[in-house]
């Protein structure tokens, strides 16, 4: 069973229409982590419901409760659940994607308005927040559905959809929904495998299939002292300054070399075998790829395998920012009364948010005691997710490999990814099925960064890839 060539032809003929669909989605600033944007996240959900229903999908929006964000009690964005087909002779594939995005402002350093999809005719790149993470891949599935529906071609598999609007903010509420709907007679019952397109190639030339993800634990260090912000000319060298304490604490977390300084974390990392080490040696990747992706020669190692293992199979600790501190232009001589430093740890087997939490919190408290400060300390565990590893020899991955070879004429690399998609493990554990990560975008797309982009070729050929994957699944033993 192979995909009809007419599907490819339809996708090519309608590429401009598909780009316009992506432009409409990017124009909705569905930032989940800012209360001021919640209305736009809800608008994005309505946009997707309309698109799916127009193609015959039976859609159900499921409310996930409320959250307190920026001092406001807000409704969580709904989970969009959809069903298309119920033929017992066909496999049933669950498709997951997310419709929320990271924050983005022109003043962050964007060359264009982040919420206006901006094509670059010279490079074929489509710039915009969410273009590659994750609106482009999500709409790729809708493009595939449109091609089949408009051509009157029956889908080779049954489809279920789960699109969420809180992935960038910890997938709040989704785990409980998946577990509640996993039993006999429930929504997820009967799913044979899961496909997620929310990751990226290692570089800009070789497709990959991803069978592992790092987990995440995100923390805040709050240091507070004075009742209000102070003038440094009046109170400098007279009081304990929260910013000084915080910067000192942040410096105790990780070395410039990337070495994590928190005792006990290294002991939780699963040992590296020679077989696993060999996988990194053969991947199509180089230090030049690192430098191209980040735009500077700042790689921690000159060895390819070492660099890849730092991204894929070892933990990392990154410091993200300081809330409450002066950061504008000019020279404001303020002593902040309260500051919050934010950092995260990317987790690998056998680390979990639960088994590292006390190690992190207790270490920071001990380091704070050493300062002799009269300020107050609070360590907040903001959110987290466990790491995940799947079987890359499963028929789900075989189908994806064949689809990749059909579209790109290359055998994909098999990778573990450095990022986190917490719901991946939830699907695997709650449903007891194989989960595949099938990327659309390239390694230099800049997800979460300024000037995020998706190459037009990846969007259109990636749509073909997703469609071909469904046909290869149907043909799999």
Active site (catalytic) residues: 100, 167
Distance CA 258, CA 306 (A): 12
Distance CA 123, CA 114 (A): 18
Distance CA 104, CA 33 (A): 11
Encode burial over 361-396: b for 16+ CB neighbours within 10 A, e otherwise: bebbeebbeeeebebebebeeeebbbbbbbebebbb
Say how many Å lie between the first and final Cα of the chain, rounded: 12
Distance CA 161, CA 170 (A): 19
The tokens describing 375, both together, are: 């300020």
- Listed residue (174, 200, 210, 186) closest to 427, CA to CA: 174
Contacts of 38 (CB under 8 A, 6+ apart): 32, 69, 74, 75, 77
The tokens describing 350, both together, are: 């056998």
Q: Are 350 and 315 in contact (CB under 8 A)?
A: no
Distance CA 214, CA 233 (A): 46
CB-hemisphere CA count at 13 Å for 193?
25
The tokens describing 337, both together, are: 């009364």
**Rounded to 5 degrees, what are φ and ψ at 192?**
-90, -30
Going by the DSSP 8-state scheme, the letter that residue 101 receives in this structure is B
Distance of CA 126 to the CA centre of its chain: 19
Distance CA 126, CA 456 (A): 6
The answer to whether the peptide bond before residue 237 is cis (omega within 30 degrees of 0) is: no
Distance CA 263, CA 362 (A): 10
Distance CA 197, CA 109 (A): 27
Rounded (10°) CA dihedral 191, 193, 196, 197: -120
């Amino acid at each position: 069973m192979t995909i009809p060539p007419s599907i490819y032809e339809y996708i090519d003929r309608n590429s401009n229409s598909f780009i316009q669909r992506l432009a409409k989605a990017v124009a909705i600033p569905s930032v989940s982590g800012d209360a001021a944007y919640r209305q736009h996240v809800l608008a994005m959900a309505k946009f997707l419901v309309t698109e799916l229903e127009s193609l015959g999908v039976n859609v159900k929006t499921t409310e996930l409760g409320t959250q307190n964000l920026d001092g406001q009690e807000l409704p969580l964005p709904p989970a969009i659940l959809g069903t298309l087909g119920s033929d017992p002779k066909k496999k049933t594939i669950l498709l997951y994607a997310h419709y929320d995005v990271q924050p983005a402002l022109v003043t962050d350093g964007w060359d264009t308005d982040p919420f206006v999809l901006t094509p670059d005719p010279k490079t074929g790149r489509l710039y915009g927040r969410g273009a590659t993470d994750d609106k482009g891949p999500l709409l790729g599935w809708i493009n595939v559905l449109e091609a089949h529906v408009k051509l009157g071609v029956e889908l080779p598999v049954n489809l279920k959809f789960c699109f969420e609007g809180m992935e960038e903010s910890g997938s709040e509420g989704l785990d409980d929904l998946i577990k509640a709907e996993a039993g006999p007679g429930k929504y997820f019952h009967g799913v044979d495998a899961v496909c997620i397109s929310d990751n990226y190639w290692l570089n800009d030339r070789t497709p990959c299939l991803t069978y592992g993800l790092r987990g995440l634990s995100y923390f805040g260090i709050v240091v507070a002292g004075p009742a209000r912000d102070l003038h440094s000319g009046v109170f400098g060298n007279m009081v304990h300054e929260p910013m000084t304490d915080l910067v000192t604490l942040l410096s105790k977390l990780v070395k410039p070399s990337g070495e994590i300084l928190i005792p006990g974390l290294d002991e939780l990392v699963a040992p590296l075998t020679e077989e696993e080490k060999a996988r990194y040696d053969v991947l199509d990747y180089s230090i030049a790829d690192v430098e191209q992706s980040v735009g500077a020669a700042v790689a921690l190692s000159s060895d390819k395998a070492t660099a890849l293992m730092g991204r894929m199979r070892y933990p990392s600790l990154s410091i993200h920012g300081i809330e409450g501190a002066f950061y504008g232009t000019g020279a404001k001589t303020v002593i902040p009364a309260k500051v919050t430093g934010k950092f995260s740890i990317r987790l690998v087997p056998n680390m979990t948010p639960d088994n590292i939490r006390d190690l992190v919190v207790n270490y920071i408290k001990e380091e704070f005691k050493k300062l002799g400060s009269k300020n107050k300390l609070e360590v907040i565990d903001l959110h987290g997710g466990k790491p995940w590893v799947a079987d890359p020899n499963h028929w789900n991955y075989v189908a994806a490999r064949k689809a990749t070879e059909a579209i790109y004429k290359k055998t994909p690399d098999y990778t573990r990814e450095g990022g986190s998609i917490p719901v991946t493990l939830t699907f695997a554990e709650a449903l007891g099925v194989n989960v595949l990560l099938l990327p659309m975008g390239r390694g230099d797309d800049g997800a979460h960064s300024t000037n995020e982009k998706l190459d037009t070729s990846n969007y259109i050929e990636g749509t073909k890839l997703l469609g071909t994957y469904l046909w290869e699944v149907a043909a799999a033993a």
